[in-house]
Amino acid sequence: MSNLFSSGGAGNVGASGITQQSLKFNDNDSQYLARTPASAGNRQTWTWSAWVKRGNLGSTQVLFGTQADGSNIGHISFESDDTLKVNNKASTTGDEAKTDMVFRDCSAWYHIVIAFDGAQSTQADRTTFYVNGVQQSRTTVSSKSSGNGYLNLAAEHAVGSRGQILGNYFDGYLADIHFIDGQALDASSFGETVDGYWKAKDYAGTYGTNGFHLTFQDDVVSEGFNAVAYSGTGVAQSISGLGFAPDFVWVKERTNTSSHILSNSLSGATKLLSSNSTDTEQTDANKFSSFDADGFSVGTSGAVNASGDTYIGWCWKAGGAPTATNSAGAGATPTAGSVKIDGSNLGSALAGSIPATKLSANTSKGFSIVQYTGNGTNGTIAHGLSSAPTWIIVKNRDTADNWPVWHSGIDITKYIKLNANSAASTPTNARWNDTAPTSTVFSVGDSSGDREVNKNNEKYIAFCWTDISGYSKFGSYSGTGSNHSVALGFRPAFVMLKRTDSTFGWVMLDNTRDPDNIMNSRLDANSNGDESSGERLRFTSTGFDVTAGTDAAINNSGSTYLYMAFADTREAAFFKDVTTNGNHFTPVNLDYRDSLPDSPANNFAVMNPLDKDPTWTLSEGNLKVSLLGVAGDDENIASTMAIPNSKLIYFEAKPNNSLYGAVGIAKLGFAELSAFSVSGATVLYLGGGGNAKIYVDGSILFDTGATWSLDIIGVAVDMSNSKVWFSKNGTYLGSGTQDPETNTGGFSISSDEVMPYGFKGNSNVTQSFTFNFGQDSTFAGAKPMGAFTDDSELGTFQYQPPVGFKSLCSANLPEPTIVDGSEYFNTVLYTGNNNSLAVSGVGFQPDFIWAKSRSGSRDHILVDEVRGATKMLSSNLTAAEVTGTDFASFDSDGFSLNAKDTTGGLNSSGDTYVAWNWLAGTAFSNDASATGVGTIDSSGQVNTTAGFSIVSYVGSSSNQTVAHGLSSAPEMILVKERTSTSGWFVYTSPTGAGKYLGLHSTTAESSSTASWNNTAPTSSVFSVGTSGGTNQSSQDYIAYCFHSVAGYSKVGSYTGNGSTDGPFLYMGFEPSFFLAKRSNGVESWFMIDNKRHPFNDGNIPRLRPNQSGAEAEDASIAGDFLSNGFKIRATQNMINTSGAEYIYLAFAETPQKFANAR
């Protein structure tokens, strides 16, 4: 797991103090959690709640389920069409239904609640879907009778797979899963709306018998002992998440026959022993390569790291690795650094008649490791503990021999062999000199031809343990032949036991392999055999129950059994149910490294499957990107978050091979371009053979002159100074001093808005990178957990980020000026009644209303507070302003309409309507001659916070400037002459001040220096030329001015690609409204919103500002509103002609910092 818990990051604290992690599932690795309930729960009534962040799309993926056959199924799953389906049928009863909504947002988190009530007679009422707090419409897939579903019976259930019949693995992240057995609840039990967005809250209810709550937290602050399960990769990897640097690691392959491998810090990581063998100490760096701060590293040997095989590692912390060998004699102060007691060098005389050559002791946890050289005569050896050991294991390192064990449960005259299944015996030569250990030493006898503990001049290692109340116990019990309990005073994490009177193996059990506390997975210390199954023990809160019946290895009546037991010191593990039910799951192909801080409380950037060239494939929670390109092609992939202009951001990437490819930053929309070596990108390029160059806007500005293998790329971005720095394994690259902290050196950024990108180089070789934006410094397990946090202590990295630089996550995005977009722009729907009608629900008193009949062919009606409610314009007409009676007033929460007038435009009985509403707010009046701002007097209303103003002015027919009241330059201006017939003139920053569009027209952009005087707006004025459309003498004009506001609105452009996998438009918010037009061709405008289109389903109901026609909805204008922008999914010319240019105006529902997936 992440070491955020020990580094000050402490995970992520969400609503109501909920600390959240998530569990990452990679479908290619067949990962899931499994649990078989002891008995069936309520199969007729239950609730499932979870937060979900999707990875791959377009395939069937089970979130939670079980399945016996084709007729008995209990699944919650995403389908291949990206709908959400519940198939919960017990033959003829239950329900099978799916949402009309599709789930194609991979940039944020969905909150999904499924409530099942099989007793409902109407099938449509049995399964209820809630997404982000809103009940969703559903489609019944197959007809079923009321009654039980299949889910929640006494059979294997899986999180992330089907259960029983495995497959359809989930890909993505899951967080905060609740299963409520016996209640059908709505979403309000698990979340609430705050500032316009849905967020998690504490669940305060009960769970029922089979209920559970999975938070996926994994506590790495362990003490003394920890166990870790991991999967082999076939390439060197680091195993972390222990919570300490181990001094003794014992690893066993679970899935195949292979020897136990034991390594200790006194001998060194590469010096190995095997508990099932008498072999001498062997040196093998292909097995263990190092002890690490939070774990250990393994090589490529199949004994510890065969690809696809599973392993268990039991780890103990002693006093740290000695740095010297003791050369002092018995009873003397040892050589400095040779004896470590609780991490410190011993500075006083060491006990014993045989000097320890190295010693490491953890007195608080009762464990020590001692190296000594035998002298062949009876003697004593210091163990470093503060109490007499109750378990000692010794091994001759130099000569092949047995592993003698003494345990307080047998007489001091006896010993038992760890490497054999033999009974305890009394040797001819006393192994322990018939003398019990004391609080300072343990005894060994003379050799008398025996090499096991004290042959002259041979080297030995001893592992010593003593009982620590509440943590460890070394005792014995008598078999009964029936179930019985053994008291320890704590819940164990690990138990090893051995029958003393007969030939049975050393049984090793732990709750890492069996987290449900039913010990089914057995390994034997004296055997190289693979893991066997069958219940032996049950771990309890106070010890363990012997449940093996008459199994002679564990519970033969009258036999004595020795055991060692260690407590579970972790407060949490990612597979544990945190309710008092203790309904824990068993991880399959998952481990602590898959528990990540990416959560609904703090959403991290990932790479974006919706903003890429199609040749890229993604995996590992969309952090690993790979492709096999075609020579000459260059493909790009963007992340899901832009670099904030006001923040310092640091991220890392690890090449997974050394051939071509590049990492860096580029302007928004760069994924649609052809190569990184053009304007708009600053990248570190790894050429053939791994040589690295830095490109800025297509030019090589620095050649590192060094080859690049699998080294870590660090990227530090400072948008306030428009610079980026690249590092190799923590060393920054470039000529002269390179220091992001002092803004020294660096490479320029030419764009105002950029985001992280991956780029393919010009080659047909496989290229792959794994990114870390702070959520996974192991790079999907390829590296040990990074020891460095960002400046906010929310992310971890392999190398130290510069001071002030932060990870790329929602917590580090700027606080938006506008949190709830509906407070400044909102859409309302209503139905006409041909009588007086008050339309409410806007949330504020609107100053600009644009309304349109949806069901009828009616003109658009635009009114504003500046001109008055009775003064109407139509976007689809060139006609002058008319005085009408449709609008009665602007109200505090909307507006009022009169009875239908002659136009019938806003209140015909039974017709449906939409009204888009903007808040301008503050009135202004500018006397240009007095203020010196502009050359034409203007007045109106302005909202500088929302970047919107309504401006009234009188034309002059000569080049002029008009004050707009905003604090930034408008990027879109809609101008209409009020007093005579004239078209709507539209300025946009993408088309420039030398062109205009007509809101009333399908025509392409027209070149004209007369419309805007060929002069772009400034932060105080916009310019008008001599065109009658914008500046006819003595004519009245109204102008609606907009500029982008981060997190709330955006004026932008895009280039069509003619594909159903259309452009992704990054906006930095979840849009609520989208107005667009092809700028370089003849096409209609179109406008969509989230009230007429409340969820993504493939079709978008649209209206055309330049036409009076009724609303149309079909797949020709298909696209998805998302948490960070808009994804186009159609090829129709109006929205996505290949190579065509488009402009747009969008407003937010919620800024990305707080947005849920849509």
- pLDDT band for position 679 (cuts 50, 70, 90): confident
Q: Which residues of 102-116 are buried (b: 16+ CB within 10 A; e: fewer)?
A: bbbbbbbbbbbbbbb
Q: Are 624 and 650 in contact (CB under 8 A)?
A: no
pLDDT at position 959: 97
- pLDDT band for position 579 (cuts 50, 70, 90): very high
Nearest to 1011 by CA among 1000, 1027, 999, 990: 1027
pLDDT digits (tens, 9 = 90+) for 503-553: 999 999 999 998 888 899 999 999 999 999 988 999 998 999 999 888 899
User: What is the biggest distance separating any 2 CA atoms in the chain, rounded to whole angstroms?
Assistant: 121
**Ranges assigned E (strand) in 955-1078:** 960-963, 972-977, 984-988, 995-998, 1006-1007, 1021-1024, 1036-1042, 1049-1055, 1064-1066, 1069-1078
Percentage, residues of the chain above pLDDT 70: 95
pLDDT digits (tens, 9 = 90+) for 962-1009: 999 999 999 999 999 999 999 999 999 999 999 999 999 999 999 999
Handedness of CA 205, 206, 211, 212 (dihedral sign): positive
- pLDDT band for position 762 (cuts 50, 70, 90): low
Average pLDDT over every residue of 38-45: 96
Q: What is the chain's mean pLDDT, rounded?
A: 92
pLDDT at 878 over 80: yes
Q: Which residues of 194-228 are buried (b: 16+ CB within 10 A; e: fewer)?
A: eebbbbbbebeeebbebbbbbbbbbbbebebbbbb
pLDDT at position 867: 97
Q: How far apart are CA 14 and CA 603, in angstroms?
A: 11
pLDDT at position 1099: 83
- pLDDT band for position 495 (cuts 50, 70, 90): very high
pLDDT digits (tens, 9 = 90+) for 65-83: 999 999 999 999 999 999 9
**Ranges assigned E (strand) in 202-255:** 212-214, 225-231, 237-240, 248-253
- Cα 36 to Cα 518, 520, 545: the distances in Å are 11, 13, 19
Q: Are 124 and 146 in contact (CB under 8 A)?
A: no
The model's pTM is 0.86
Across the strands, what pairs with 361?
Answer: 341, 368
- Selected residue with higher pLDDT from 975 and 701: 975
pLDDT at position 791: 87
pLDDT at 2 over 80: no
Helix ranges (DSSP H) in 995-1040: 1028-1031
Q: Which CATH class is domain 4-214?
A: mainly beta
Question: In the Cβ-directed half-sphere of 167, how many Cα atoms lie within 13 Å?
Answer: 6
pLDDT at 903 over 90: no
- Selected residue with higher pLDDT from 231 and 184: 184
pLDDT at position 782: 86
Nearest to 390 by CA among 485, 450, 473, 307: 473
Average pLDDT over every residue of 861-865: 97
Structure tokens at 93: 């009863």
pLDDT at position 12: 32
Nearest to 371 by CA among 332, 338, 329: 338
pLDDT at position 688: 62
Q: How far apart are CA 979 and CA 879, in angstroms?
A: 9
Show Cβ contacts of residue 122 under 8 Å, excluding neighbours closer than 6 positions. none
pLDDT at position 613: 85
1156: three-class secondary structure by DSSP: coil
Q: What angle do CA 774, 779, 783 make, to 5 degrees?
A: 115
Using CB atoms within 10 A of its CB, is residue 902 exposed (0-12), middle (13-18) or buried (19+)?
exposed
Q: How far apart are CA 494 and CA 917, in angstroms?
A: 64
Q: Are 565 and 487 in contact (CB under 8 A)?
A: no
pLDDT digits (tens, 9 = 90+) for 596-643: 999 999 999 999 999 998 888 999 999 999 986 655 556 789 999 999
Backbone angles phi, psi at 368, to 5 degrees: -145, 155
- pLDDT band for position 428 (cuts 50, 70, 90): confident
pLDDT at position 659: 66
DSSP annotation string for 821-840:
GGGTEEEEEEE--SS-EEEE
pLDDT at 436 over 70: yes
Domain ranges of the chain: 4-214, 225-316, 339-465, 481-570, 607-810, 821-918, 922-1042, 1049-1151
Highest mean pLDDT among 101-115, 212-226, 767-781: 101-115
Other C-beta atoms closer than 10 Å to the C-beta of 730 total: 15
Are 607-810 and 922-1042 the same fold in CATH? no
29-43, 247-261, 689-703, 714-728: least confidently modelled range: 689-703
* Pair type for strands 1069-1078 and 1141-1151: antiparallel
Handedness of CA 903, 909, 910, 913 (dihedral sign): positive
Percentage, residues of the chain above pLDDT 90: 81
277: three-class secondary structure by DSSP: coil
pLDDT at 99 over 90: yes
pLDDT at position 5: 27
Show Cβ contacts of residue 930 under 8 Å, excluding neighbours closer than 6 positions. none
Other C-beta atoms closer than 10 Å to the C-beta of 729 total: 11
**H/E element, 553:** helix 552-555
376-390, 711-725, 780-794: least confidently modelled range: 780-794
Structure tokens at 99: 């949402």
Q: How far apart are CA 963 and CA 951, in angstroms?
A: 8
pLDDT at position 885: 84
Helix ranges (DSSP H) in 934-1041: 1028-1031
Nearest to 382 by CA among 441, 315, 294: 441
Show Cβ contacts of residue 942 under 8 Å, excluding neighbours closer than 6 positions. 920, 921, 922, 924, 948, 949, 950, 964, 965, 966
Q: How far apart are CA 190 and CA 109, in angstroms?
A: 14
Say which residue the tokens 């790009």 belong to: 636
Q: Are 359 and 369 in contact (CB under 8 A)?
A: yes
Three-state SS across 953-968? EECCCCCEEEECCCCC
Q: What angle do CA 356, 361, 363 make, to 5 degrees?
A: 135
**H/E element, 929:** helix 928-931
pLDDT at position 9: 29
Domain 607-810 has CATH 2.60.120.920: yes
pLDDT at 10 over 70: no
According to DSSP, residue 23 is labeled: E
Beta-sheet strand order (sheet of 1064-1066): 1064-1066, 1125-1128, 1119-1122
Q: Are 402 and 469 in contact (CB under 8 A)?
A: no
pLDDT digits (tens, 9 = 90+) for 43-54: 999 999 999 999
**H/E element, 930:** helix 928-931
**Ranges assigned E (strand) in 792-892:** 796-797, 825-831, 837-840, 848-853, 861-864, 868-873, 882-883, 887-891
Q: Are 1087 and 1102 in contact (CB under 8 A)?
A: yes
Helix ranges (DSSP H) in 253-307: 302-305
Instruction: Provide CATH code, domain 922-1042.
Output: 2.60.40
